[in-house]
Chains A and B, each alone.
Chain A
Amino acid sequence: MRRYFGRKLLVYGLTFFVAVTINWMVPRFMPGDPVSSMVARTGASNPAAAETMRVYYTGLFGLDQPIWQQYFNFWATLFQGDFGISIWAFPTPVSEIILGAVPYTLALMIPAILLSWVVGNWFGAYAARRKALDNAVLPIGYILTAMPYMWLAVLLAWGLGVVAGLFPVAGGYSFSTRPNWSWDFFLDLLHHWTLPFASLFLAALGGWAIGMRNMIIYELESDYSNYLSALGAPQRLIRRYAFRNAVLPQITGLALQLGVLVAGALVTEIVFSYPGLGSLILKAIQNQDFFLLQGTFLFIVLGVLIANFIIDIVYVVVDPRTRAGMAGAQA
């Protein structure tokens, strides 16, 4: 057990190390002078402001220092939570911008991923081998998964937002309000959250339901199910076993989803102009804000690694085969 997690941690540590190193290398080995091109790209008309930025960035890159020194400095600032200063929102620190965006992305993605997983698996498991329901769940599931996400999102925004006027279609909260800790603001947030959430939820729902349905049918046809049936075990027991075993690969699927959480958020946040990490990436690219992009990227890598590690732990708890495998590795 110790060794298993030790090995996992080592792999994750290495991944993080490589990601940070690549992140550090890119601006330094890009052709041309990154500092002046960055300053030029911001189009700062005021020469004084441009000069301030130039001095700041040269110092930050520490281009006058030896290369290994630059590398260590990069790590040192990283551990202080310092990702640099944004160009697009100069002079706000990148970390501050990211921390402002993270709650929106998490509040959108985590409920959407988890709820679609739970509901989808439940539907799929329930429909498997139940004729009437299966005939409904299967086509609806296929329609939902086959439909390009963009369509679904636009369809929802147009139908429920523009035509029916039930929900706002842009922003994280109304333009007229400022974020504050009031009940009204919370309702306003919820109101803006509904459509992007629903689009993500529906898009993922069909896939989970179909996957679960197929897994359950596979398990119901497996040898242990046949053996139990031959011994007259009731369907209830067999389905319970089938469900438990079918859920295991679905957990892997969930891990992958949580891992690429932010990538999923990108399109949603753009369609609904939702102020999360996805929108931030878009802004960083549009404004060629290298530090913001770098910071967001590192943050995402960290998130992916943490999500995967949590799933590793969950897997060990729920699947005895992983535990047996670990025992075997130790012997």
Chain B
Amino acid sequence: MSLRVSDLKVYYKTLKGQVKALDGVSFEVGDREILGLAGESGCGKTTLGKSLIRMDGRMRHIGGTVELDGEEMPIGDDRRMNAFRFHEVSLIPQYSMSALNPTRKIGKMVAELLHSRGVALDAGKLRGRLDAVGLPHEVLDRYPIELSGGMKQRVVMVVSTLLDPSLLIADEITSALDVSTQKAVAGALAAFRDDGLVKSMIFVTHDLSLTYQIADTIMVMYAGKLAEKAPAKEIVEAPRHPYTRLLINSLPEVGVRYADRKLTGIAGSPPSLLNPPKGCRFRDRCPLAFAQCEQEPPVVEVAPNHSVACWKA
């Protein structure tokens, strides 16, 4: 088992109180597995991704544990967490277009980054990785501003995976791209896994149909909690949670994606996590809600590798 997250709670400290953005989430990601993380905006996907590599100043690790390859990661301890970053856990951020220092040539920046982490630069390996994503070696001699958006994205992908991390987190990295580039990027990510550059991956997106193309398993989150997790095919063909069903019904047809389609299919919006509702957090939008839903539904394994948190599942 590559990654094991148990009852993880991460809150944001705000002036109004704690935002319970991640409120007791447990799941596992196996070796060579790509986990697709889905859910509407505001469900806690980014919070989960950041918790696994670097929490920002407002995030607090309230409880739960994260184990990577059998070793517990001190996610709440910024200092000690550094040993894991880049080497064991790495990130392709949402903001790839602006992730590179504008005043450094890319090759120099990579060299300085590696040097600062005490790693010798393996020029041959770096060039091989550029070849793999179809970038000319000259990009090393360029400033970020001289590259197109797609090239910057691929540079970031190469940099992030240079040390062959065990876990790679990719957060909404395709949102800003056009459909054909999205496919190419998703393909490159799958190749990273197939070639053994990364052991496992969490691919975050609010776009279920794109997740379906590359993920082995899909986990749907709602309001800081796990709603449903199952093999990709199963979750799309036989969803059990009412929320998942609505998400899938709102898609035109799985595998086909219309450029700017938003998830407009579900009435209402996720609750504020400052004071999340008691019981099932999906209750006020759920067409199947009934009396028992005032109690929080536990996560139950309804079939092998298929977990759902719903009284009606």
- Size category of the binding interface on chain B: 20 to 34
Complex contact A320–B145 (CB within 8 A): yes
The total of interchain contacts (Cβ-Cβ below 8 angstroms) comes to 73
Q: Tell me if A33 counts as interface (CB < 8 A to partner B).
A: no
Stretch of A6-14, A199-207, A231-239 with 4 or more beta carbons under 8 angstroms from chain B = A231-239
Stretch of B3-11, B82-90, B276-284 with 4 or more beta carbons under 8 angstroms from chain A = B82-90
Complex contact B113–A224 (CB within 8 A): no
CB of A254, distance to nearest CB on chain B (Å)? 18
Q: Tell me if A222 counts as interface (CB < 8 A to partner B).
A: yes
CB of A200, distance to nearest CB on chain B (Å)? 31
Complex contact B117–A224 (CB within 8 A): no
Complex contact A231–B91 (CB within 8 A): yes
Q: Tell me if B311 counts as interface (CB < 8 A to partner A).
A: no
Contacts of A288 in B (CB 8 A): none
Q: Tell me if A131 counts as interface (CB < 8 A to partner B).
A: no
Complex contact B104–A241 (CB within 8 A): yes
Contacts of B86 in A (CB 8 A): 231-232
Complex contact A324–B99 (CB within 8 A): no
Q: Tell me if A15 counts as interface (CB < 8 A to partner B).
A: no
Complex contact A237–B113 (CB within 8 A): yes
Of all chain B residues, which has the CB nearest A229? B54
Complex contact B82–A232 (CB within 8 A): yes
Complex contact A232–B117 (CB within 8 A): yes
CA–CA, A229 and B81, complex, Å: 11
CA–CA, A233 and B90, complex, Å: 12
Q: Which of A222, A227, A237 has the most CB of B within 10 A?
A: A227
Complex contact B103–A231 (CB within 8 A): no
CA–CA, A232 and B85, complex, Å: 5
Q: Tell me if A96 counts as interface (CB < 8 A to partner B).
A: no
CA–CA, A275 and B84, complex, Å: 64
Q: Is the interface of B mostly helix, strand, loop or mixed?
A: loop
- Near B by CB (< 8 A), chain A positions 289-331 give 319-321, 324, 327
CB of A228, distance to nearest CB on chain B (Å)? 7
Determine which of A222, A223, A236, A248 lies in contact with B116 in the assembled complex, contact meaning CB atoms within 8 Å. Answer: A236
CA–CA, A232 and B99, complex, Å: 14
Contacts of A26 in B (CB 8 A): none
Of all chain A residues, which has the CB nearest B162? A231
Q: Tell me if B160 counts as interface (CB < 8 A to partner A).
A: yes
Q: Tell me if A230 counts as interface (CB < 8 A to partner B).
A: yes
Contact with B along A192-236 (1 / 0, CB 8 A): 000000000000000000000000000000111011111111101
Contacts of B83 in A (CB 8 A): 232
Q: Tell me if B212 counts as interface (CB < 8 A to partner A).
A: no
Report 9 cross-chain contacts, Cβ distance below 8 Å, ordered by A residue.
A224-B99, A229-B54, A231-B91, A231-B159, A232-B83, A232-B85, A248-B103, A321-B143, A324-B143
Residues of B that sit less than 8 Å from A by CB:
53-54, 82-87, 90-91, 93, 95, 98-105, 112-113, 116-117, 143, 145-146, 156, 159-160
Residues of A that sit less than 8 Å from B by CB:
222-224, 226-234, 236-237, 241, 244-245, 248, 319-321, 324, 327
Closest A-B pairs by Cβ, 8 of them: A232-B85, A227-B99, A223-B98, A231-B86, A223-B95, A237-B116, A232-B82, A224-B101
